[in-house]
Every structure is written in C-alpha cells, then in structure tokens.
Amino acid sequence: MLDTQTDLRAILKDGSLLETRAFIGGKWADADDGATFEVTNPARGDVLAKVADLTRVEVARAIAAAEGAQKDWARRTAKDRAGILRRWFDLMVENVDDLAAILTAEQGKPLPEARAEVLYGASFVEWFSEEARRVYGDTIPGHQPDKRITVLRQPIGVAASITPWNFPNAMIARKVAPALAAGCSFVARPATETPLSALAMAVLAERAGVPAGVLSIVPSTHASDIGKEFCENPVVRKLTFTGSTEVGRILLRQAADQVMKCSMELGGNAPFIVFDDADIDAAVEGAMVCKFRNNGQTCVCANRIYVQAGVYDAFAVKFEAAIKKLRVGDGLAEGTTTGPLISGKAVQKVQAHIKDALDKGAKLVVGGKPHDLGGTFFEPTLLTDVTPDMAVSQEETFGPMAPLFRFETEEEAVALANDTIFGLAAYFYARDVSRVTRVQEALEYGIVGVNTGIISTEVAPFGGVKQSGLGREGSKYGIEDFMEMKYVCLSV
C-alpha cells in the first residue's frame, strides 16, 4: 500500500467540484443527523473525504422534490431540455481533468482511463441532448370511420438509480441523461466506495441549469434501505440498476410489489474466442484491452478466453509478453496501466478463482498473487490449460486474471461460450466471412464484438440477455426505457 496521502483538493483546478454534501431538491445538505461515511483512495488507503450518509427519510424528501419538479420539467420544450443537457455536456468536457482526478482518487483506475470514462459518460449527455428532440408519436388509420387514433410518448415520471463503483461517472450519466431528455426527474444513489464522481457531476448539472428537484444525488451506506425506499415509494415509477445479478434479483423482487418498470445491467461472463483463422496479433491486442480495462473490473470484460488448438501456443506466448508489459501502480502516477482493485473482497475473489483453477490442473504462466505494492494491488495473471469444471468458467472474476481454454471445433467453441446463465457481451476473432456470420448469430449475448475487444459507445444499445439484465442503455433505444406509450382513440 502506498503511504502518500492524496490531497485531492490540491490536485483540482476547481476545488468546488469536491462536494461531500448530498444534493436534494436543488440544495446541498448534510444528513439530518450529521452522519458521514469515509471515502478512501484504494491505492493509498487514505481518507479522501467524509460524505453525507443519508437514510430513507432524506431520500424520501429527494423523491418528493423530484415529484414536485417533474411536471414542469416535462412541460418544457424538448429543445429547452436539450439545451440544458448540452450545457451539462460542455461543462463535463471543460472539467474533464478534475472529474478524472476525482474518479481515479476514489476508484483507483489510471488517470488516462478515468479521463476516457468521463468523456464516455459525457458522450451520453451529448447524445441524449440530441435524442430529446427526436421522440416521435404515431397516428394510425382508424378502425372505424369516426375514429382517429394517435399514440403519445410521455415521460414515465420519477426515476431512481443504484449504480456500482466500477464506472462511477459513466453509469450515472448513462442513466440520468436519457431520463432527463425524456422529461423525467431523477434520484441517484451512487456506490458507497465512489460517491464523489456523482456529486461532482451534480455540481455541474446545477451550473448547467438543471432545475431544482429534477436531479438529486443521495449518497448512503444504507444500500438495502435506499433500495427499498426506491421500490416501495409509490412516487418512483422507474428503477434503473447496474451491478451484480444477485442484487438485481433482490431489486426485481422488491419492485414487483408495485409492478415497477426496471432496467437492469447485471453481471457478465464474457467469452473471448480466437479462431485459427484470426489475426493473432490483433486478437492479443483485443484480449488485452478486453481483459485488463479497469483492472478487469468491468461487466463486459473477457472472463473466459477460448483459443483454437492450432493457434493456442502462438497466442499464449504473445499474450504472456503483452501482460508482462502492464505496469501496476497508483492511478494518479504517470505511466500506470493497472491500478488497485476496489477492495479486499475483490482481491479474495480473484485469489479464489486462481486457487480453484490451479487445484484442478491449470498452469500459472504470469502473476498469480497480490502485488508487492500491497493493499489491493494484484499481479496481472495468466493461466493456461483452464477447463470448464473450474469456477472461472461460470463465475465473473472481476479482476486481472486471464484464463486460457483450448478448443478444437467451431461448434465446441459456441457451445462452451453459451454455457452460462449470463448473456451480456461476447467477442471473437476470425476472418472467414461465413464463420463470422455463423458465430455472430449463434452467440446468445446482447452484445457481440467481432475482431474487436472494446464495444462501449453511446451510439449503440448496451445491455444483456438471459440473467445479464433487462433493457438497453445508449443508442436511439435508450430513451425508450424512460418513456410511456399512450394510445388515444378519438371519436369524431
């Protein structure tokens, strides 16, 4: 563990972005009882800030403020809402360096990755500032001479989110932007580990002119209580969650009592398949970004790497060499490619998957243990001779461990890839166009990357099938999740 302290305010150009109070109904406020919780730097272990720790009572107030603001916000013209979202986008870009520093300090990812995440998050705000003006209804030829049929598209109302620590900026932006574009109001509860990014975004949203009550940020360590408030409060009409499938199931059960509309971006178990007709150098490059982005703490990370027998050794040698070039360190330090894991719990999960695989016959090629830096730093790890009976085949590692599986035929690869309850992202490298067509159609996933290891963009629909989730985020489809459809039958 690095022992240097992070004086976050000294790093920032605009210290006012380091906000530690909750944002409720357009006002910055402490918790009613003054309670706070510590936000620590996972690289250094020091306390970055003490943030207001809200309970259901304050969150209920934020929901009431959202209800009070929503109708006026929806009555504004789409152009007006678009203009405010555009200003928010501009402010996020203007403050990208500060937002990135805050993100790295609380989450750990290297500054270049944090900067990329902030711009990725901002791209959703930009995209939905444009989509706001493209929500169209329908007119339908009447079923009787005196009937005129129209279809109206209206905002759902008050929406709420629960988001994880791995993308503390982009996951908020990817949900708030379409909701506000649609005319919804929004209450966001960020993860305990990483509330500062969300609070900084709210500072900029307020400056952009988002009206009081339209957006609230409710940091809290009482995750379960806040989730129940969101699911039980009759004012909340929409819940959007990103996180584990386990918690997604809990929320869906709770939301069922009100038949609440839910969007769920849940766990993954992405297969990354390298066929013998692949460009091996390109496949290695793709596998590196797909596996080690955010230190493997990404729901669309390669979790299983399947390599066809004819190219297995060649791929393994090149992949090993690439992994050895990774530089583990403090995300705030120049040249770091790989930061710390978010917590000790995350380290234990990676270690458990490595031990299970080695106990069942896998071979350790690189890494395999906590890094000399201590704390939650971990050595990027490569295992070969991994087999489907090992835990990593069915469970999301969510860390820097790359397991290589060998396969013989295309049919075997597709069967192995689909043998999971998850269905978020899958990737494969091949050059034969018939094979590419067959495999992209056969993979049971919401997202398929072909000859690429990175698929994240605001223009495409992001989401999973099976137990990886419900709904889509981004793209022209993303705003649908925050709209209702009303059929009007007029008798003339």
Ligand X SMILES: O=C(O)[C@H](O)CS(=O)(=O)O
Ligand Y SMILES: NC(=O)C1=CN([C@@H]2O[C@H](COP(=O)(O)OP(=O)(O)OC[C@H]3O[C@@H](n4cnc5c(N)ncnc54)[C@H](OP(=O)(O)O)[C@@H]3O)[C@@H](O)[C@H]2O)C=CC1
Per-residue x/- mask for ligand Y, residues 290 to 309, rule CB under 6 A?
A: ---------x----------
**Radius of gyration for the chain, computed over Cα atoms and rounded to the nearest angstrom:** 23
Establish if 103 lies at the interface with ligand X (CB under 6 A): no
Single out the residue of 167, 377, 407, 427 in contact with ligand X (rule: CB under 6 A).
167
Per-residue x/- mask for ligand Y, residues 171 to 200, rule CB under 6 A?
A: --------------------xx--------
Residue 193: both structure tokens together: 């580990």
Least CB distance to ligand X at residue 374 (A): 26
Q: What are phi and psi of 380, to 5 degrees?
A: -55, 130
Type of residue at 103: L
Single out the residue of 154, 244, 394, 440 in contact with ligand Y (rule: CB under 6 A).
244
Q: Which stretch binds ligand X (CB under 6 A): 71-79, 154-162, 294-302, 313-321?
A: 294-302
Single out the residue of 204, 226, 299, 305 in contact with ligand X (rule: CB under 6 A).
299
Please say which residue, 185 or 242, places its beta carbon nearer to ligand X: 242
Cα–Cα nearest to 315, from 289, 278, 346 = 278
Residue 434: both structure tokens together: 């018939």
456 binds, among ligand X, ligand Y, none (CB under 5 to 8 A by kind): ligand X
CA 365 to each of CA 174, 269, 320, 329, 354: distance values in angstroms, whole numbers, following the listed order: 38, 22, 7, 21, 12
Single out the residue of 123, 161, 194, 242 in contact with ligand X (rule: CB under 6 A).
242
Establish if 429 lies at the interface with ligand X (CB under 6 A): no
The sign one gets for the Cα dihedral 60, 212, 102, 339 is positive
Sequence-distant (≥ 6) Cβ neighbours of residue 145 within 8 angstroms = none
Please say which residue, 294 or 384, places its beta carbon nearer to ligand X: 294
The sign one gets for the Cα dihedral 174, 178, 181, 183 is negative
Single out the residue of 124, 272, 398, 407 in contact with ligand Y (rule: CB under 6 A).
398
Single out the residue of 161, 185, 298, 467 in contact with ligand X (rule: CB under 6 A).
298
Establish if 394 lies at the interface with ligand Y (CB under 6 A): no
Establish if 278 lies at the interface with ligand Y (CB under 6 A): no
**Long-range contacts of the stretch 4-9 (C-beta < 8 A, 24+):** 4/44, 5/44, 5/46, 6/41, 6/44, 6/46, 6/48, 6/105, 6/332, 8/48, 8/49, 8/101, 8/102, 8/105
CA 484 to each of CA 81, 196, 224: distance values in angstroms, whole numbers, following the listed order: 18, 32, 28
Q: Which of 19, 67, 265, 480 is catalytic?
A: 265
Question: Which residue in the block uniquely carries the two structure tokens 């929500």?
Answer: 135
> Rounded distance, CA 221 to CA 379, Å?
30
Please say which residue, 184 or 191, places its beta carbon nearer to ligand Y: 191
Least CB distance to ligand X at residue 258 (A): 26
The question of whether 484 is a catalytic residue gets the answer: no
> Rounded distance, CA 293 to CA 114, Å?
11
Least CB distance to ligand Y at residue 104 (A): 18
Least CB distance to ligand Y at residue 175 (A): 12
Please say which residue, 225 or 277, places its beta carbon nearer to ligand Y: 225
Helices (H) then strands (E): counts for the chain: 14, 20
Site for ligand Y in 342-371 (CB under 6 A): none
Establish if 166 lies at the interface with ligand Y (CB under 6 A): yes
Binding site for ligand X (CB under 6 A): 166-167, 170, 242, 298-300, 456, 462
Binding residues for ligand Y, rule: CB under 6 A, are: 162, 164-166, 191-192, 223-224, 227, 242-244, 247, 250, 265-267, 299, 396, 398
Residues with active-site annotation: 265
